[in-house]
Amino acid sequence: DYKGQKLAEQIFQGIILVSAIIGFIYGYITEQFGWTVYIVMAGFALSCLLTLPPWPMYRRNPLKWLPVQDLGTEEKKPGDRKPKRHAKS
């Protein structure tokens, strides 16, 4: 559902943003860029774990599909169509 997709996107972006800020600050304090990368990668892994599986919190508003309609006895064949004519320029 669309509300679940929006929630997953917000969670994903929030975790990435927070981990990037924390990683930058920690990397700046320790003067190690590697720690910044590790923290951002951990945030990415956490966000993937929380947003990729179809958790029940993302499926609270399912979409209502139209019922299947029978075509009846008259089925159109591909050869029954009229050929399209292109406008002359």
Encode pLDDT of 7-34 as tens digits.
999 999 999 999 999 999 999 999 999 9
DSSP per residue, the chain = -HHHHHHHHHHHHHHHHHHHHHHHHHHHHHT-HHHHHHHHHHHHHHHHHHHSS--GGG-SSPPPPPPP----S----GGGSPPP-PPP-
Residue 32 lies in a domain: yes
CA–CA separation, 38 vs 27, rounded Å?
A: 10
Q: Any idea of the CA torsion for 27, 31, 33, 34, to the nearest 10 degrees? A: -90
Residue 67 lies in a domain: no
Give the range among 12-16, 36-40, 45-49, 85-89 with minimum mean pLDDT: 85-89
The model carries a pTM of 0.68
Range of the domain at 41: 2-58
Residue 31 lies in a domain: yes
Residue 41 lies in a domain: yes
